[in-house]
Protein backbone atom coordinates (compact mmCIF):
# COMPACT_ATOMS: atom_id res chain seq x y z
CA UNK A 1 0.00 0.00 0.00
CA UNK A 2 1.39 3.41 -0.86
CA UNK A 3 -1.07 5.92 0.59
CA UNK A 4 -4.22 5.76 2.66
CA UNK A 5 -7.06 8.04 1.56
CA UNK A 6 -9.99 9.06 3.71
CA UNK A 7 -13.18 9.95 1.88
CA UNK A 8 -16.68 10.79 3.06
CA UNK A 9 -19.20 13.55 3.47
CA UNK A 10 -18.44 16.86 5.21
CA UNK A 11 -18.45 16.25 8.95
CA UNK A 12 -17.60 12.56 8.71
CA UNK A 13 -14.34 13.07 10.63
CA UNK A 14 -11.78 12.63 7.83
CA UNK A 15 -9.34 15.28 9.07
CA UNK A 16 -9.54 14.34 12.75
CA UNK A 17 -9.22 10.61 12.07
CA UNK A 18 -6.54 11.16 9.42
CA UNK A 19 -4.32 13.16 11.72
CA UNK A 20 -4.63 10.63 14.55
CA UNK A 21 -4.12 7.69 12.23
CA UNK A 22 -0.96 9.15 10.74
CA UNK A 23 0.42 9.74 14.23
CA UNK A 24 -0.55 6.22 15.31
CA UNK A 25 1.21 4.45 12.42
CA UNK A 26 4.06 6.89 11.91
CA UNK A 27 3.01 8.07 8.45
CA UNK A 28 2.88 11.65 7.19
CA UNK A 29 -0.44 13.46 6.99
CA UNK A 30 -1.98 15.80 4.42
CA UNK A 31 -5.44 17.27 3.98
CA UNK A 32 -6.37 18.31 0.44
CA UNK A 33 -8.37 21.34 1.66
CA UNK A 34 -5.46 22.59 3.80
CA UNK A 35 -3.04 22.12 0.89
CA UNK A 36 -5.31 24.11 -1.43
CA UNK A 37 -5.63 26.93 1.12
CA UNK A 38 -1.88 27.00 1.65
CA UNK A 39 -1.04 27.02 -2.04
CA UNK A 40 -3.61 29.62 -3.03
CA UNK A 41 -3.17 31.80 0.04
CA UNK A 42 -6.97 32.00 0.26
CA UNK A 43 -9.60 30.35 2.43
CA UNK A 44 -12.04 27.90 0.78
CA UNK A 45 -15.00 30.35 0.71
CA UNK A 46 -12.79 32.95 -1.01
CA UNK A 47 -11.74 30.38 -3.61
CA UNK A 48 -15.39 29.52 -4.32
CA UNK A 49 -16.27 33.21 -4.48
CA UNK A 50 -13.44 33.94 -6.87
CA UNK A 51 -13.84 31.13 -9.40
CA UNK A 52 -16.88 29.14 -8.45
CA UNK A 53 -17.02 25.44 -7.66
CA UNK A 54 -15.32 24.33 -10.90
CA UNK A 55 -12.25 26.47 -10.09
CA UNK A 56 -12.09 24.84 -6.65
CA UNK A 57 -12.51 21.35 -8.21
CA UNK A 58 -9.61 22.01 -10.60
CA UNK A 59 -7.38 22.99 -7.67
CA UNK A 60 -8.57 19.96 -5.74
CA UNK A 61 -7.74 17.60 -8.60
CA UNK A 62 -4.29 19.12 -9.13
CA UNK A 63 -3.59 18.84 -5.40
CA UNK A 64 -4.71 15.21 -5.26
CA UNK A 65 -2.61 14.34 -8.27
CA UNK A 66 0.45 15.84 -6.66
CA UNK A 67 -0.13 14.18 -3.28
CA UNK A 68 -0.77 10.82 -4.94
CA UNK A 69 2.82 10.77 -6.17
CA UNK A 70 4.03 10.49 -2.57
CA UNK A 71 4.29 7.29 -0.59
CA UNK A 72 3.39 6.53 3.02
CA UNK A 73 0.94 9.37 3.47
CA UNK A 74 -2.47 9.45 5.12
CA UNK A 75 -4.51 11.85 2.98
CA UNK A 76 -7.82 13.34 4.14
CA UNK A 77 -9.88 14.61 1.21
CA UNK A 78 -12.70 17.12 0.78
CA UNK A 79 -16.22 15.67 0.71
CA UNK A 80 -16.66 16.44 -2.98
CA UNK A 81 -13.47 14.75 -4.20
CA UNK A 82 -15.51 11.81 -5.52
CA UNK A 83 -17.47 14.05 -7.90
CA UNK A 84 -14.74 13.66 -10.49
CA UNK A 85 -14.19 10.15 -11.80
CA UNK A 86 -10.53 10.93 -12.47
CA UNK A 87 -10.00 11.58 -8.74
CA UNK A 88 -11.42 8.15 -7.94
CA UNK A 89 -9.03 6.58 -10.47
CA UNK A 90 -6.09 8.45 -8.92
CA UNK A 91 -6.94 7.21 -5.42
CA UNK A 92 -7.53 3.63 -6.57
CA UNK A 93 -4.20 3.59 -8.37
CA UNK A 94 -2.12 4.98 -5.53
CA UNK A 95 -3.32 3.40 -2.31
CA UNK A 96 -6.23 2.14 -0.25
CA UNK A 97 -9.30 4.15 0.56
CA UNK A 98 -11.45 4.30 3.67
CA UNK A 99 -14.98 5.69 3.52
CA UNK A 100 -16.04 7.30 6.79
CA UNK A 101 -19.82 7.34 6.83
CA UNK A 102 -22.29 8.68 9.39
CA UNK A 103 -26.04 8.89 9.82
CA UNK A 104 -27.63 12.05 8.50
CA UNK A 105 -28.68 13.39 11.91
CA UNK A 106 -25.17 12.83 13.24
CA UNK A 107 -23.64 14.75 10.34
CA UNK A 108 -26.15 17.55 10.85
CA UNK A 109 -25.27 17.83 14.55
CA UNK A 110 -21.53 17.83 13.83
CA UNK A 111 -21.79 20.40 11.03
CA UNK A 112 -23.91 22.79 13.10
CA UNK A 113 -21.23 22.92 15.78
CA UNK A 114 -18.30 23.06 13.37
CA UNK A 115 -16.57 26.43 12.92
CA UNK A 116 -15.34 25.54 9.39
CA UNK A 117 -17.12 27.54 6.69
CA UNK A 118 -18.44 25.31 3.91
CA UNK A 119 -19.68 27.25 0.89
CA UNK A 120 -21.80 24.36 -0.35
CA UNK A 121 -23.80 24.40 2.89
CA UNK A 122 -24.19 28.17 2.89
CA UNK A 123 -27.51 29.93 3.02
CA UNK A 124 -30.55 29.60 5.23
CA UNK A 125 -31.54 25.99 4.69
CA UNK A 126 -28.37 24.20 5.72
CA UNK A 127 -30.18 21.07 6.88
CA UNK A 128 -32.21 20.81 3.68
CA UNK A 129 -29.06 21.33 1.61
CA UNK A 130 -27.24 18.66 3.63
CA UNK A 131 -30.10 16.24 2.92
CA UNK A 132 -30.02 17.03 -0.79
CA UNK A 133 -26.26 16.66 -1.12
CA UNK A 134 -26.31 13.40 0.81
CA UNK A 135 -28.95 12.00 -1.52
CA UNK A 136 -26.82 12.97 -4.51
CA UNK A 137 -23.54 11.70 -3.18
CA UNK A 138 -24.05 8.78 -0.83
CA UNK A 139 -23.50 6.16 -3.55
CA UNK A 140 -20.33 7.85 -4.76
CA UNK A 141 -18.26 6.78 -1.75
CA UNK A 142 -19.17 3.12 -1.77
CA UNK A 143 -16.29 1.84 -3.87
CA UNK A 144 -13.84 2.27 -0.96
CA UNK A 145 -11.78 -0.68 0.33
CA UNK A 146 -13.20 -0.22 3.82
CA UNK A 147 -16.32 1.56 5.10
CA UNK A 148 -16.66 2.60 8.73
CA UNK A 149 -19.81 4.09 10.22
CA UNK A 150 -18.42 6.72 12.56
CA UNK A 151 -21.81 7.75 14.00
CA UNK A 152 -21.37 6.17 17.42
CA UNK A 153 -17.59 5.81 17.61
CA UNK A 154 -14.73 7.85 18.94
CA UNK A 155 -12.00 8.94 16.53
CA UNK A 156 -9.58 6.61 18.35
CA UNK A 157 -11.85 3.60 17.81
CA UNK A 158 -12.10 4.43 14.11
CA UNK A 159 -8.30 4.66 13.91
CA UNK A 160 -7.92 1.23 15.55
CA UNK A 161 -10.45 -0.28 13.13
CA UNK A 162 -8.41 1.01 10.19
CA UNK A 163 -5.10 -0.15 11.69
CA UNK A 164 -6.54 -3.63 12.30
CA UNK A 165 -8.20 -3.94 8.92
CA UNK A 166 -5.03 -3.20 6.98
CA UNK A 167 -2.65 -4.83 9.47
CA UNK A 168 -0.82 -1.53 9.96
CA UNK A 169 0.11 -2.17 13.57
CA UNK A 170 1.50 -5.65 13.08
CA UNK A 171 5.15 -6.66 13.35
CA UNK A 172 6.88 -5.83 10.10
CA UNK A 173 4.36 -3.06 9.46
CA UNK A 174 5.64 0.47 9.10
CA UNK A 175 4.25 1.48 12.48
CA UNK A 176 6.63 -0.66 14.49
CA UNK A 177 9.67 -0.82 12.25
CA UNK A 178 12.71 0.56 14.07
CA UNK A 179 15.74 2.35 12.71
Name the binding residues for Mg(2+). Answer: 15
Complex with ligand S3P: residue 11 or 95, whichever CB lies closer: 11
Is the Cβ–Cβ distance between 111 and 118 less than 8 Å?
yes
Complex with ligand S3P: residue 79 or 95, whichever CB lies closer: 79
Output the smallest distance, CB 174 to ligand S3P, in A. 25
Complex with ligand S3P: residue 53 or 160, whichever CB lies closer: 53
Is the Cβ–Cβ distance between 68 and 57 less than 8 Å?
no
Per the annotation, where are the binding residues? 11-16, 33, 57, 79, 118, 137, 153
Neighbours of 174 (CB within 10 A): 12
Output the smallest distance, CB 45 to ligand S3P, in A. 8
Complex with ligand S3P: residue 14 or 91, whichever CB lies closer: 14
Per the annotation, where are the binding residues for ATP? 11-16, 118, 153
Output the smallest distance, CB 176 to ligand S3P, in A. 30
**Residues forming beta bridges with residue 28, ordered by sequence position:** 73
Rounded Cα gap, residues 35 and 177, in angstroms: 29
User: Which residues contact ligand S3P (rule: CB under 6 A)?
Assistant: 10, 14, 33, 44, 78-80, 118-120
Output the smallest distance, CB 154 to ligand S3P, in A. 19
Amino acid sequence: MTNLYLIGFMGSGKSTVGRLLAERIGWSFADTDDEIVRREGMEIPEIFAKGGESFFRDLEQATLLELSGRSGWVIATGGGIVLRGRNVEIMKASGKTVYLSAREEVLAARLVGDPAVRPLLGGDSRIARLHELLQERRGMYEWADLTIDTSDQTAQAVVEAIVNHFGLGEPGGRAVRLG
